Amino acid sequence: MAEENKINGLAWFVAGLGVGALVGILYAPKSGRETREDLIAGAREGTEYLRVRTRQAVEQVGNLVDQGKEQMGEYVERGREAVDRGRAQWEEFVERGKNLVSEQTGRVTAAVEAGRQAYKTPPVADEPKEL
């Protein structure tokens, strides 16, 4: 938006130069040669002004591009850090899961073995109870 205002301002400046030159020619008390020299000098000044403003605009755009590159680099680095943290958490969760499965496997194996032992051992006869 600000750049658009600058461009509009520049356009109005150039238009004003043209109108001013035309009015100056019509009402100038100078001779034709002096008037032409003044017009040439004005054109040179306008050209120099445009050259300076163009150079400034190029510098500003270069600065904006550099800032954009810096910010993009920061965002990429933040993204990498987030991915690394996520990967570390994922690996931790996987390791916890493996440990949990291992513990449960041990418990189930022990329970199955206890069941086998109980099945193989003959039951002890209870003594009859007297009434």
Q: Tell me, yes or no, whether 129 lies in a domain.
A: no
Using pLDDT thresholds of 50, 70 and 90, give the confidence band for residue 107: very high
Q: Tell me, yes or no, whether 90 lies in a domain.
A: yes
Rounded distance, CA 39 to CA 36, Å?
Answer: 5
Residue type, 11: A
Q: Tell me, yes or no, whether 126 lies in a domain.
A: no
Q: Give residue 39's domain range.
A: 2-117
Rounded distance, CA 111 to CA 119, Å?
Answer: 12
What is the per-residue pLDDT across 26-57, written as a single tens digit (0 to 9) for each? 776 767 787 778 878 988 998 999 999 999 99
Q: How many domains is the chain partitioned into structurally?
A: 1
Using pLDDT thresholds of 50, 70 and 90, give the confidence band for residue 12: confident
Q: Tell me, yes or no, whether 106 lies in a domain.
A: yes
Higher pLDDT, 70 or 130: 70
Q: Tell me, yes or no, whether 79 lies in a domain.
A: yes
Read off the pLDDT of each residue in 9-30 and give the average, rounded to a whole number. Answer: 78
Residue type, 125: A
Higher pLDDT, 88 or 29: 88
Vertex 60 angle, CA 55 and 62, to 5°: 95
Task: Specify the pLDDT at position 8.
Answer: 77
Task: Specify the pLDDT at position 17.
Answer: 83
Vertex 101 angle, CA 96 and 102, to 5°: 95
